């Protein structure tokens, strides 16, 4: 059902859809809307690490007007440490596979993500947490809750450094982000 209420899209007025039962407006969260627009992405995988070994991701936000809203989830069967840095300097590394959540969209992310680059300067430490042997689960953690997302600083490189604190540590990770045009 189409209501008699209209909203401005930035270029035209459009009637807002409402449900057939209560004639109420349908609303979805911003991150969910980004999926529908083809502007929501993720990386995912796992590594098997021994004590003292690391997995490092360098995440570089574009200098454009696009704002990156990011969350990062991690889980392991053994103890590990996560450190997050801002304004890092890196070279090299392997390009991570960035996946669009809308599998029908041809949009590509403006974010650059490389795995295990050479770190020339870590930058400024933003967060450091040590997780015990039970690890941390993806489901229901504060780390993937959108209320705890970080809006990345334009043109800045972030380091997500995960270090195993025991041998035979199986580390799973998943980074989620969406990109939107908004004025800073």
Q: Tens of pLDDT along 113-124?
A: 999 999 999 999
Tell me, yes or no, whether 139 and 57 share the same domain. Answer: yes
pLDDT value of position 39: 74
Question: Measured between alpha carbons, how far is 129 from 135 in angstroms, rounded to an integer?
Answer: 12
Q: Record the tokens describing residue 156, joined without a space.
A: 């800045």
Both 47 and 111 in one domain: the answer is yes
Residues 3, 59, single domain; the answer is no
If asked whether residues 12 and 82 sit together in one domain, one would say no
Q: How many residues does the chain have?
A: 184
How does the average pLDDT of the chain come out, rounded? 81
Q: What local confidence, expressed as pLDDT, does residue 1 receive? A: 47
Q: What is the pLDDT of residues 4-57, one digit of tens each?
A: 677 777 777 877 666 555 555 556 555 555 555 667 899 999 999 999 999 999
Domain identity same for 74 and 136: yes
Question: Are 52 and 123 in a shared domain?
Answer: yes
| Confidence band of 138 (pLDDT split at 50, 70, 90) | very low
* pLDDT of 144: 52
Q: Domain check: are 11 and 48 in the same one? A: no
Domain count of the fold of the chain: 2
- DSSP codes of every residue in 103-161: TT-----S-EEEES-EEEE--EEEEEEEE-TT---STT-GGG-GGG-EEPPTT-EEEEE
Where in the sequence is the domain holding 19, given as residue range(s)? 1-36
pLDDT (tens digit, 9 = 90+) per residue, 88-108?
999 999 999 999 988 888 989
Residue 179: pLDDT band by 50, 70, 90 thresholds? confident
Query: What's the whole-model pTM score?
Result: 0.78
Nearest CA among 9, 102, 109 for reference residue 68: 109
Q: Are residues 49 and 28 in the same domain?
A: no
Confidence class for position 140, pLDDT limits 50, 70, 90: very low
Mean pLDDT of 169-173: 90
| Whether residues 100 and 174 fall in one domain | yes
Q: How far apart are CA 142 and CA 164, in angstroms?
A: 21
């Amino acid at each position: 059902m189409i209501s008699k209420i209209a909203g401005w899209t930035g270029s035209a007025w459009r009637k807002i859809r409402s449900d057939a039962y209560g004639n109420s407006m349908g609303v979805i969260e911003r991150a969910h809307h980004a999926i529908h627009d083809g502007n929501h992405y993720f990386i995912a995988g796992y590594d098997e690490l021994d004590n003292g070994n690391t997995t490092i991701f360098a995440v570089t936000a574009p200098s454009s007007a696009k704002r990156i809203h990011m969350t990062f989830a991690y889980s392991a069967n053994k103890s590990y440490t996560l450190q997050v840095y801002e304004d890092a300097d890196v070279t090299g590394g392997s390009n991570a596979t960035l996946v669009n959540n809308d599998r029908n969209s041809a949009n590509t992310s403006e974010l650059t993500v490389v795995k295990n680059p050479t770190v020339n300067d870590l930058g400024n430490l933003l967060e450091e947490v040590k997780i015990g042997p039970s690890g941390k689960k993806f489901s229901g953690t504060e780390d993937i809750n959108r209320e705890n997302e970080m809006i990345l600083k334009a043109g800045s490189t972030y380091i997500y450094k995960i270090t195993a604190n025991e041998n035979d540590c199986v580390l799973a990770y998943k980074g989620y982000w969406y990109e939107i045009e908004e004025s800073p």
